[in-house]
Amino acid sequence: MAHCLQHLSKRVNLLRWAGRVIASIGALWFLLMLIGSAITEGAGPITIETGTLVFLGLMAVVGGILSWWKDAISGILLFLTSVGLGIHISCYAGHNHFLAWVLIGLPYLIASILMVSSWRLSK
């Protein structure tokens, strides 16, 4: 029995660390993308498109930071970020919506599944 619990604990830690790494890299990438876009394109007027993108970026960063302390909350935030990016892409992207979501939104969905799974298995 103790061997099974130890094996489960290692699996939970692996899920948690994978989710943390993916969430942190994704949040850092999103933040750098927003900063780079603001620098190259300049600070123009705030539109609904840019406002929602900044909001989703902040959600991704908060989810990435919280992944180091609060598994369930970060998993929910990362899931909402992924869904929000899907909606944003479907409304504002030109072509290849699914490919754009796979490149931008899928890492947050994977990280959210890993974080919620690690939280659920640790209970």
Tens of pLDDT, residues 59-77: 999 998 888 888 889 999 9
Percent with pLDDT over 90 in the chain = 16
Residue 3 inside a domain? The answer is no
Residue 110 is predicted with a pLDDT of 92
| Residue 31 resides in a domain | yes
Residue 95 located in a structural domain: yes
Q: Which candidate, 37, 29, 88, places its Cα nearest to that of 60?
A: 29
* pTM (predicted TM-score): 0.84
Predicted local distance difference test score (pLDDT) of residue 111: 92
73 belongs to a structural domain: yes
With a cut of 70, say whether residue 8 has pLDDT above it: no
Residue 62 located in a structural domain = yes
pLDDT at 1: 54
Q: Does 2 score more than 60 pLDDT?
A: no
8 occurs within a structural domain: no
Q: Percentage of the chain with pLDDT > 70?
A: 91
When divided into structural domains, the chain yields a total of 1
- The boundaries of the domain holding residue 52 are 14-122
Mean pLDDT on 79-98:
88
d(CA 80, CA 112) in angstroms, rounded, equals 9
Local structure of 94: helix, strand or coil: coil
Q: Answer yes or no: is 2 within a domain.
A: no
Residues 64 and 27: beta-carbon distance below 8 Å:
yes
Q: Let me know if residue 1 belongs to a domain.
A: no
Residue 120: the pLDDT is 86
What is residue 113's predicted lDDT score, i.e. its pLDDT? 92
